[in-house]
């Protein structure tokens, strides 16, 4: 992906977006701006993920824009957010400026696939998370990014995690940790027993996975860390650095006996190798369970460490992967060095 960025390869348009850590800006792979050093970039599968990681869109390559020019109202609304990313823009504010809120929502959604308010929240929450990742306290990030109350600040977390931090004492608790990787951010959930989830932050169905884990354990999820989360962060970094492919942190999975058997078998696939779904079914002693194996593979919620990406179609084609086929291809190529 970095080579594609350097070459401004148009074949990668829409495949990935690149965030530049030194400027806080994210771009298309074809951006004409001066190229950053490899150590100063991270890659994302979508503009939304880049926004939530705290990056703002590049003014030169306009990574949020499509082929057609943005409507004047949409451009005006985006400029309002860029001028005051931490401020609050209400429907009343829009009316004062002569903008109908419903029209703003409709045009923004039609062009960007999200409402104006959702875009604004993404920018604000992204900045807040960026500050926390740099070491800022939660309350400090809340104040710095313009959230007037703790309840407002945690609303985005509640939508995903289900329970605000204030109620953590009333239930069991899993801590959530953000992990930066060359393929975009990952989210890990863990407690003193081990790691219960490790997924790319933009994975389809991530919210459902978190909800399933929460309900199974009857617990809340709050941002934080513990020794197991610190360990998985270290092992994920080692994996992407190419220094180790082994994961020793305890992994706790919840599923049917058949799903558990599939996930255990996945961990026996050597790095640098791939099995087909039919190979996996045969290893389990049930050659006719190819579709069931595929479903179990899709329900795995510990990416990389339980390597479901090493399973491909019998004809050698890469197929569905929750983190995106482009990531699956990268992971398999990366693991060739461990053969």
| Structural domain boundaries in the chain | 1-64, 70-153, 162-241, 257-338
Neighbours of 156 (CB within 10 A): 18
- Integer angstrom CA distances of residue 256 from 17, 259, 261, 282: 37, 5, 9, 19
pLDDT of residue 312: 86
Secondary structure element (H or E) that encloses residue 25, with its range:
strand 25-27
Of the CATH numbers 3.40.50.300, 3.30.70.870, 3.40.10.10, 3.40.1180.10, which one belongs to the domain with range 1-64? Answer: 3.40.10.10
Rounded to a whole number of angstroms, the distance between the first and last alpha carbons of the chain is: 23
pLDDT of residue 161 exceeding 50, the answer is: no
User: Can you name the CATH fold of 162-241?
Assistant: Double Stranded RNA Binding Domain (3.30.160)
Of the candidate CATH numbers 1.25.60.10, 3.20.20.70, 1.10.3720.10, 1.10.10.10, the domain formed by 257-338 belongs to 1.10.10.10
Q: What is the pLDDT of residues 62-84, one digit of tens each?
A: 888 765 566 788 888 878 877 76
Express each pLDDT in 45-54 by its tens digit: 778 778 877 7
The tens digit of pLDDT for each residue in 271-315 reads: 989 998 999 999 988 888 888 998 998 899 999 999 999 998 887
Q: Which tops the pLDDT comparison, 290 or 149?
A: 290
Residues in the chain: 339
Percent of the chain with pLDDT over 90: 24
Q: Is 45 exposed, middle or buried (0-12, 13-18, 19+ CB in 10 A)?
A: buried
Mean pLDDT across the stretch 40-44? 87
Model pTM score: 0.55
pLDDT digits 0-9 by tens, 213-243: 888 887 767 666 789 999 999 999 999 998 8
Q: Which of 27, 31, 61, 308 is catalytic?
A: 308
List the one residue out of 243, 234, 203 whose CA is nearest residue 44.
203
Tell me the pLDDT band of 337, cut-offs 50, 70 and 90: confident
Higher per-residue confidence, 129 vs 307: 307
**What mean pLDDT do residues 96-121 have?**
78
Query: Is 82:50 a contact under the CB 8 Å cutoff?
Result: no
* pLDDT confidence of residue 130: 56
Name the residue among 322, 43, 326, 337 with its Cα closest to residue 183.
43
27 is catalytic: no
If you ran DSSP here, which 8-state letter would residue 249 be given? S
Strands (E), 201-324: 219-223, 275-276, 311-312
Q: Is 80 exceeded by the pLDDT of residue 100? A: yes
């Amino acid at each position: 992906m970095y080579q594609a960025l350097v070459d401004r390869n148009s074949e990668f348009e829409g495949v990935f977006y690149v965030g530049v850590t030194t400027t806080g800006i994210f771009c298309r792979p074809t951006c004409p701006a001066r190229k950053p050093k490899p150590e100063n970039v991270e890659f994302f599968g979508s503009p939304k993920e880049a926004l939530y990681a705290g990056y703002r869109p590049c003014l030169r390559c306009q990574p949020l824009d499509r082929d057609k020019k943005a409507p004047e109202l949409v451009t005006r609304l985006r400029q309002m957010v860029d001028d005051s990313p931490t401020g609050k823009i209400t429907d009343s504010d829009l009316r004062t400026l002569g903008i109908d809120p419903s029209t703003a929502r409709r045009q923004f959604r039609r062009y960007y696939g999200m409402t104006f308010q959702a875009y604004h929240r993404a920018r604000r929450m992204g900045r807040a998370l960026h500050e926390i990742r740099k070491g800022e306290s939660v309350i400090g990030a809340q104040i710095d990014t313009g959230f007037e109350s703790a309840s407002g600040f945690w609303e985005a977390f509640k939508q995903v995690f289900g329970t605000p931090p204030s109620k953590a004492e009333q239930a069991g608790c899993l801590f959530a940790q953000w992990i930066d990787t060359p393929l975009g951010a990952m989210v890990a959930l863990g407690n003193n027993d081990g790691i219960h989830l490790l997924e790319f932050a933009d994975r389809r169905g991530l919210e459902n996975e978190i909800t399933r884990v929460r309900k199974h354990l009857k617990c809340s999820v709050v941002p934080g860390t513990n020794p197991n989360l610190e360990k998985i962060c270290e092992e994920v970094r080692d994996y992407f650095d190419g220094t180790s492919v082994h994961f020793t942190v305890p992994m706790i999975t919840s599923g049917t006996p058949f799903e558990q058997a599939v996930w255990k078998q996945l961990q026996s696939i050597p790095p640098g190798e791939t099995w087909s779904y039919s190979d996996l079914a045969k290893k389990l002693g049930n050659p006719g369970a190819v579709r069931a194996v595929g479903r179990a593979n899709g329900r795995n919620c510990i990416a990389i460490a339980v390597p479901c990406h090493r399973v491909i179609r019998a004809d050698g084609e890469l197929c569905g992967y929750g983190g995106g086929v482009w990531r699956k291809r990268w992971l398999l190529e990366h693991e060739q060095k461990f053969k």
